[in-house]
Amino acid sequence: MNAVLISAEELRESTEKDLRLLDVRWQLGDPDGPQHYQNGHIPGAVFVDLDTELAALPSPARGRHPLPDPSRLQKCARSWGLCTGDPVVVYDAIGGMSAARAWWLLRWAGIADVRILDGGLPSWIRCGGELATGVEPDPAPGDIEFRPGRLPVIDADAVARWEGVLLDARAAERYRGEQEHLDPRAGHIPGAISAPSSENLDQDGCFLPEDLLRERFGEIGEAPVAVYCGSGVTAAHAIAALAVVGVQAALYPGSWSQWAHDPKRPVATGV
């Protein structure tokens, strides 16, 4: 176990009685996360809706998944049963791509002990973990107090002035501008480096071993790092992968969904 990830085996063997499990199953184009949860989830897990609980309302000016208001996020976290000092494990079924958003937000809000279940629900099933169906009883309301701002965030103006490393966590074809079905312009922020979050994972949907992640990000050096994606969701996955190897990166929450809607912002294509 490390400060970012927990394996399915470690979770099965955990004796932390106050451990909170959050099921963050969300995927672009798949609105059925609540049904997937009811069809089978880790016993005791609470379903968390990424669109409504882990993001503010979308807009062209702010992007598809703006950061939620801290007071609203705290209210949601209390409804999940989170109390001060509780360790938290977040998971999904797509290699942590959506769960990383919850990991990042809770760390940003001041919760130190938040980990992503490495490999998500498939890893839990592979190691013999049991599943519960239906809906869990509502947890007792929590008392968590958030202290937002514990992880670095940058806005579009800061991105335009960024002198460090800027990583684009989207698929490479979107970075190159060959494919864009979500936003009004195709391409990437000038100066950004393509670093798809999908390449942080092995064939089983688990994060690559630390030595391979270190090799993957080895050319970053000592420069400050910032990450964006389509709407600030999978960028959190890249930030988690960087954290595994001891690199802190800033998140650009508006990401391409904000940048591409602003005609004043330049766009680059190709490699």
* Cα-based torsion angle of the residue sequence 248, 232, 270, 195 in order, rounded to the nearest 10 degrees: 40
Nearest residue to 188 via CA among 271, 70, 115, 104: 271
Q: How far is it, in rounded angstroms, from Cα 151 to Cα 236?
A: 11
- The active-site residue out of 76, 83, 206, 229 is 229
| DSSP per-residue codes, 184-205 | SS-SB-TT-EE--GGGGB-TTS
> β-pairing, 225-228 with 165-168?
parallel
H helix count then E strand count, the chain? 11, 9
Q: How far is it, in rounded angstroms, from Cα 231 to Cα 44?
A: 30
β-sheet bridge partners, residue 76: none
| DSSP per-residue codes, 31-91 | --HHHHHHH-B-TT-EE--HHHHSS---BTTTBSSPPPPHHHHHHHHHHTT--TT--EEEE
Work out the number of other CB atoms within 10 angstroms of the CB of residue 229.
29
Q: What are the angstrom distances between the C-alpha of 271 and each of 187, 199, 224, 242?
A: 10, 17, 22, 22
Q: How far is it, in rounded angstroms, from Cα 2 to Cα 96?
A: 15
Residue 229 appears among annotated catalytic residues: yes
Give the catalytic positions in this structure: 229
